Amino acid sequence: MDIMDTARPLDGAAVSAFLRSLPAEPLLLGLGEARHFVEELGRSRNEIFRHLVEHEGYRSFAIESDCLKGLVVDDHLATGAGALDEVMERGFSHDFGASPANRELVRWMRAYNEEHDEKLRFFGIDGPLEYWAASPREALTALHALLEGPLPCTRETLDALLGPDEPWTDEATVMDPSRSIGRSADAQRLRLLADDLVTLLDTQAPRLSPKDRERAELYGRTAVGLLRYHHWMADTSPARISRLSALRDAMMADNLRAVAEQGPALVFAHNLHLQRDGSVMTFGDRPLEWWGAGAITATRLGDRYAFLASALGTVGDDAPPPDTVEGMLSELPWDHCLVDARRLADAIADPVPRVSHDFAYFPLDPARLGRIDGVVFVKRAVTPDRPA
């Protein structure tokens, strides 16, 4: 088989043909990033999503960004609340609001909603965390405010147990677990109260509006997830960072399960989070291994989850060797293309793994092509001015 037979230029027809080739219509279509802040990929993503909305019935978009901040964007799309500059600043984490492609996406989604009765939705799927984590205050107090009495505690009790936010958000806890307050007596009590509040939500769900119930469930799983994450930040075992990575992806997977209820949706996050295989990376000199959100979601949804990995050819001055997958794809005549990954695995002979000089780029693993549904390939990308 010729490699040309596995690919076609990236356009709406290619996207629809890809969807028709899948064993089932996906509730979640994951589009992975091989590197964050690649605008060429962001623009291609926007074109894919626009086609999915206009021709395939998609109404939701989800991104690897703070799930609570994402409510700012979703409200803007629904009502026009907030100026676009403010929405981009307050509605994204990880500096993703500075991306021109993300700004254009939000602008287009809002314009679409102004003209259509069936509205588009926006979701953040990440927790309010990186390797450090936010205070659970926002999630806990917002959940508390949506419930009726008798409640397991007062708002004043929550505030007293939470204390100031600074100890919760101390970035030094990433490397020094002794600085974490996640196993303090107050934190342990907060975990019990969070469990009580989530259980109370289940008993009161029928009285809440669909919007309030959706948000209360988001606040509940975020509060529980953050308190669990802080608990394990105080862990001193060698598996600590791998466990934290797994907990973060478990929070993403829970958010993806909620997004799937609004499906079909396009999900945009790093390949490591969306792939079906286990995730592997290094943190300093530590090798990390864990199951990502995509692997968990694929276990839950089966064929209703599909995964498009992305891959880049030349990134800045870093060109792929010709015997790598990216090197072979770079010989195709298109700047952007959509590749059938399983057919590609049969078409190429003994590719070698790429070693990129760009530390933030995660090359395709030739051994994993059979576990990917497709590849969005960008032949040349400008070196981002931010790290991944």
Q: Express each pLDDT in 74-97 by its tens digit.
A: 999 999 999 999 999 999 999 999
Backbone angles phi, psi at 67, to 5 degrees: -65, -30
- For residue 374, give the H/E element and its range: strand 374-381
- 278 closest CA partner among 311, 242, 303, 310: 242
State the Cα angle at 102 between 165 and 266, rounded to 5°. Answer: 95
pLDDT score of 328: 96
pLDDT score of 388: 59
118: Cα separation from own chain's centroid: 24
Assign 3-class secondary structure to 338-373.
EEEHHHHHHHCCCCCCCCCCCCCCCCCCHHHHHHCC
pLDDT score of 244: 96
Please report, for residues 15, 18, 189, 223, 373, the alpha-carbon distance to residue 21 in angstroms, rounded to integers and kept in the order given: 10, 5, 51, 40, 9
Instruction: State the pTM of this model.
Output: 0.96
Please report, for residues 139, 154, 204, 215, 259, the alpha-carbon distance to residue 208 in angstroms, rounded to integers and kept in the order given: 17, 20, 7, 10, 19
In this structure, the strands spanning 336-340 and 7-9 are antiparallel
Tokens 């590609």 -> residue: 344
- For 384, half-sphere exposure in the C-beta direction (CA atoms, 13 angstrom radius) is 23
134-147 burial, b if ≥16 CB within 10 A, otherwise e? bbbbbbbebbbebb
Residues forming beta bridges with residue 9, ordered by sequence position: 337
Residues of the chain with pLDDT under 50: none
User: Angle between the 137-146 and 185-204 helix axes, to the nearest 10 degrees?
Assistant: 30
